[in-house]
């Protein structure tokens, strides 16, 4: 099992460009999440999904969109990148709604917006 994978691993964008980050999991998990992690701050939830075809906003959703067309994939889109979106982006997945809901993380995508 590959677990949770993310592509790309690194990306540099210019302000105003768009891109999509892809997350895939092979554990048949219902829940998937997108986080950003900035120096000195905790992981901040951008969007999440509780199942195929569903998405919901997290703590910092502005400037991002997501889609979950297939259970195993969760896409994060930046329509018009801004320097404030320079960050490390982590995707995670978890089995479901029980309180013991360990999240499994992908390796991260390091995004720089110039």
Partner 1 sequence: GQNIDQPTEMTATEGAIVQINCTYQTSGFNGLFWYQQHAGEAPTFLSYNVLDGLEEKGRFSSFLSRSKGYSYLLLKELQMKDSASYLCAVIDSNYQLIWGAGTKLIIKP
Q: Find the shortest distance in angstroms from Cβ 43 to partner 1.
A: 4
Nearest CB to partner 1, comparing residues 2 and 41: 41
**Is residue 103 a contact residue for partner 1 (CB under 8 A)?**
yes
**Is residue 21 a contact residue for partner 1 (CB under 8 A)?**
no
Q: Which residues contact 94 (CB under 8 A, 6 or more apart)?
A: 29, 30, 31, 33, 101, 102, 103, 104
Q: For 26, phi and psi rounded to 5 degrees?
A: -115, 25
**Is residue 41 a contact residue for partner 1 (CB under 8 A)?**
yes
**Is residue 32 a contact residue for partner 1 (CB under 8 A)?**
no
**Is residue 44 a contact residue for partner 1 (CB under 8 A)?**
yes
Is beta strand 4-7 parallel, antiparallel or unpaired with respect to 56-57?
Answer: unpaired
């Amino acid at each position: 099992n590959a677990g949770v994978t993310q592509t790309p691993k690194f990306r540099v964008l210019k302000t105003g460009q768009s891109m999509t980050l892809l997350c895939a999991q092979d554990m048949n998990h219902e829940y998937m999440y997108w986080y950003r992690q900035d120096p000195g701050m905790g992981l901040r939830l951008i969007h999440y999904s509780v199942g195929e075809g569903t998405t919901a906003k997290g703590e910092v959703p502005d400037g991002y969109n997501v889609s979950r067309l297939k259970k195993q994939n969760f896409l994060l889109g930046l329509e018009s990148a801004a320097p404030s979106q320079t960050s490390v982006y982590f995707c995670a997945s978890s089995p479901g709604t029980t309180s013991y809901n360990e999240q499994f993380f992908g390796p991260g995508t390091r995004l720089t917006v110039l």
